[in-house]
């Protein structure tokens, strides 16, 4: 089943705006982990906002699990499509972790007992159960963002969209978030749409989509996409770090193959060094 | 509830801290009424006694409480002096130019001082022992009856709690903008009052802009989490009345009756 489907979608912010989305066709399978890569202004955040009705398409159809987006169903769909935004400070409503996680569940009118259970579940899923009574403003960036994920999880969504949720974090915070997202995808079977401009994060996805100027320009397995290095560069994107190291080593005359796997690269470098020293 | 960095809240565990915020709010209102109903030193002594009891059970250092009075000291002294000098009474103690000091004037001023000090101390006890979040919850709960006349109680409470939530964020931001402007050569220290006030503008404008941007993003995040206003919404945290609140309730009742009885039967040696 298609968790999310865009059919011939049109969208522009204003009539004379340079940025436009035209004839956008895109879909995500249930349980899939899709990464959307793109440079600033490529339309990847617009994609996220269209997916849960924060923005309305000018033409075309957007559906979530077969239900067309719009009108009275918007509310029901938002329960299924959770969005985690970029800035952790601007998406927490309450001062305390527990209250903030409860916010979404309170909004849909769940009974108190169930809200309590959902807070337990959500905080455990993001590994923040010890911080239940902490003040949000005292947490680190990665922890705040994990609380934001928990707040979305408390609504038990089927799809989770991360709209550059790692962009403002340090490497450690980024890793925390990506680990949580991967685990949610595997264990809770949540469909994930990860919007990012870090190539490393796309590597973990089942499928990667590259956007540029409102269009999907590349699509496929992450490894396949990164093989098309020259093409990626034209969209102002680059390889993951390991891939870049490979290219540098090759340019320097070392005989290593193109890989994105750190261990494999280490192995090959070791072999090259051994061969030369013998 | 310990971890609130701003406001006056003094984070310790005590009997008073654990009281229901609604009860504390009602207590404060009743207490203020009692202070102004009391028309004798005896009545005021009853009020003072209640406050001493509260302070004794709140585990807030006395030094901190007294410091709260210092802020209004000037106002208290000023009004007291004026009252002493201009109050018209029968028993004249001293008379000079347009000033007359009467016995009644001195007594009146003394009561006034006492009232103001009790008032400030009791209000401060509320903010010392209650977190801003709990206060907001309490106010929301107390205002609930106003929903009948379509007053947006839930929205008001949400606005208050979001404002509280963004205080530390905006304070950080102010500091950041200030440093950024300093790095660009802005001068906040020197010059007269006008120059100093003017120097605030380059802090204020970016701060406002950023606050609007944040509000916009927060609105989106709330929409995405199915927020549609107060209707059909449940509340996870419920305020609960406990045995402590019952005891505190009897204290208010006792103070009120004491004050009213003293006023009606007029047993007032002073």
Q: Is the interface score ipTM higher than 0.95? A: no
Domain annotation covers residue B160: no
Same domain assignment for residues B186 and B129? no
Same-domain check for residues B96 and B208 = no
Same domain, B253 and B205: no
B134/B250 same-domain check: yes
Whether the per-residue pLDDT at A153 is higher than 70: the answer is yes
Tell whether B86 is covered by a domain.
yes
Kindly state whether residues B192 and B112 are assigned to the same domain. Answer: no
Cβ of B220 and A85 within 8 Å?
yes
pTM for the structure as a whole: 0.80
Distance CA B132, CA A95 (A): 10
Interface test with B, best of A53, A135, A138 (most B CBs within 10 A): A135
Q: What band does B3 get if pLDDT is binned at 50, 70 and 90?
A: very low
Q: Are B85 and B130 members of one domain? A: yes
Residue B3, domain member (yes or no): no
For chain A, list residues whose CB is within 8 angstroms of any CB belonging to chain B: 49, 52, 54, 75, 78-79, 82-83, 85, 87, 89-96, 98-99, 102-112, 115-116, 119, 133-138, 148, 151-152, 155
Query: Can you give the pLDDT at residue A115?
Result: 93
The average pLDDT across A197-222 equals 90
Dihedral angle computed from the Cα positions of residues B243, B248, B254 and B259, in that order, rounded to the nearest 10 degrees:
-160
Residues B124, B25 within the same domain = yes
- Quick: pLDDT tens for A176-199: 899 999 999 999 999 999 999 888
Nearest Cβ partner of B225 from A87, A103, A137?
A103
Residue spans per domain, chain A: 2-227, 240-278
Q: Which of A49, A166, B217 is nearest to A21 (CA)?
A: A49
Is B247 domain-assigned? Answer: yes
Is residue B73 in some structural domain? yes
Which contiguous run of DSSP H or E holds residue B110? helix B103-129
Average pLDDT of chain B is 85
B-chain residue closest to A154, CA distance: B225
Q: What is the pLDDT of residues B92-132, one digit of tens each?
A: 787 777 777 888 888 888 888 999 999 988 988 888 888 88
Mutate to test the interface with A, among B220, B225, B230, B233 (most CBs of A within 10 A): B225
Please classify residue B157 by burial: count the beta carbons closer than 10 Å to its beta carbon, then call 0-12 exposed, 13-18 middle and 19+ buried. Answer: buried
CATH classification of A2-227 is 3.40.50.300, yes or no?
Answer: yes
Asked whether the beta carbons of B45 and B110 are under 8 A apart, the reply is: no
Taking only Cα atoms into account, the Rg of chain B, rounded to an integer number of angstroms, comes to 24
For the stretch A123-139, pLDDT in tens is 999 999 999 988 888 89
The reply to whether B133 and B248 lie within a common domain is: yes
Chain B residues near residue A107 by CB distance under 8 angstroms? 225-228, 233
Please give the pLDDT value at position B4.
Answer: 39
Whether residue B237 is contained in a domain is answered as no
Same structural domain, B28 and B116: yes
* Structural domains of chain B, count: 2
In which order are the strands placed within the sheet that holds A81-84?
A81-84, A159-163, A191-196, A33-38, A207-212, A215-220
Nearest CA in chain A to B133: A95
Q: Where are the alpha helices (DSSP H) in A154-193?
A: 171-187
- pLDDT digit string (tens) for A47-92? 999 998 899 889 889 999 988 887 778 888 899 999 999 999 999 9
Same domain for B54 and B89, yes or no, is yes
Chain B: closest CA distance from residue A157 (Å): 10
Looking at residue A43, the DSSP 8-state letter turns out to be: S
Provide the pLDDT confidence category of residue B267 given band limits of 50, 70 and 90: low
Confidence of residue B6 (pLDDT cuts 50, 70, 90): very low
- Domain of B216 in residue numbering reads as 171-224
Whole-angstrom distance, CA of residue B236 vs CA of residue A141: 26
Instruction: Give me A201's structure tokens.
Output: 């994060």
Q: Is residue B12 part of a domain?
A: no
């Amino acid at each position: 089943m298609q968790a999310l489907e865009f059919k011939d979608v049109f969208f522009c912010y204003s009539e004379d705006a340079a940025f436009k989305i035209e004839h956008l066709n895109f879909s995500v399978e249930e349980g899939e982990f899709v990464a959307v890569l793109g440079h600033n202004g490529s339309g990847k955040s617009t994609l996220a906002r269209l997916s849960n009705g924060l923005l309305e398409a000018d033409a075309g159809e957007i559906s979530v699990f077969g239900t067309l987006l719009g009108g009275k169903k918007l509310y029901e769909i938002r329960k299924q499509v959770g969005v985690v935004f970029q800035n952790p400070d601007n998406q927490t409503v309450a001062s305390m972790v527990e209250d903030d996680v409860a916010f979404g569940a309170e909004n849909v009118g769940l009974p108190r007992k169930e809200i309590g259970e959902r807070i337990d579940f959500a905080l455990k899923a993001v590994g923040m159960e010890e911080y239940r009574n902490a003040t949000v403003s005292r947490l680190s960036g990665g922890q705040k963002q994990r609380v934001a994920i928990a707040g979305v999880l408390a609504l038990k969504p089927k799809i989770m969209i991360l709209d550059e949720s790692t962009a403002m974090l340090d490497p450690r915070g980024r890793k925390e978030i990506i680990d949580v997202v991967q685990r949610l995808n595997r264990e809770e079977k949540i469909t994930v749409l990860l919007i990012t401009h870090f190539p490393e994060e796309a590597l973990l996805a089942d499928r990667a989509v590259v956007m540029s100027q409102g269009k999907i320009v590349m699509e496929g397995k992450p490894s396949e996409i990164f093989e098309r290095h020259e093409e990626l560069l034209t969209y102002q994107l680059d390889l993951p770090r390991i891939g870049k190291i490979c290219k540098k080593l090759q340019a320097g005359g070392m005989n290593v193959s193109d890989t994105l796997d750190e261990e494999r690269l280490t192995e090959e470098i070791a072999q090259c060094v051994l061969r030369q020293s013998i | 509830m310990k971890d609130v960095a701003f406001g006056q809240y003094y984070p310790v565990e005590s009997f008073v801290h654990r009281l229901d915020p609604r009860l504390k709010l009602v207590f404060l209102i009743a207490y203020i009424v009692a202070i102004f109903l009391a028309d004798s030193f005896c009545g005021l002594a009853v009020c003072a006694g209640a406050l001493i009891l509260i302070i004794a059970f709140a585990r807030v250092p006395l030094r901190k409480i007294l410091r709260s009075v210092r802020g209004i000291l000037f106002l208290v002294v000023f009004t007291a002096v004026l009252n002493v000098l201009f109050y018209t009474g029968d028993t004249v103690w001293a008379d000079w130019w347009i000033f007359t000091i009467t016995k009644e004037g001195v007594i009146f001023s003394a009561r006034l001082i006492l009232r103001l000090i009790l008032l400030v101390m009791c209000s401060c006890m509320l903010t010392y022992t209650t977190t801003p979040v709990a206060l907001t919850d309490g106010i929301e709960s107390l205002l609930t009856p106003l929903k009948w006349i379509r007053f947006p109680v839930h929205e008001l409470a949400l606005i208050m709690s979001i404002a509280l939530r963004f205080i530390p964020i905006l304070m950080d931001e102010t500091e950041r903008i200030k440093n950024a402007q300093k790095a660009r050569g802005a001068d906040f220290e020197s010059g007269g009052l006008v120059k100093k006030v003017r120097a605030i503008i380059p802090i204020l404008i970016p701060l406002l802009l950023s606050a609007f941007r944040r509000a916009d993003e927060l609105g989106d995040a709330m929409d995405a989490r199915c927020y549609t206003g107060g209707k059909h919404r449940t509340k996870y945290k419920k305020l609960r009345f406990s045995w402590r609140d019952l005891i505190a309730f009897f204290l208010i009742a006792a103070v009120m009756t004491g004050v009213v009885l003293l006023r009606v039967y007029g047993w007032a040696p002073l």
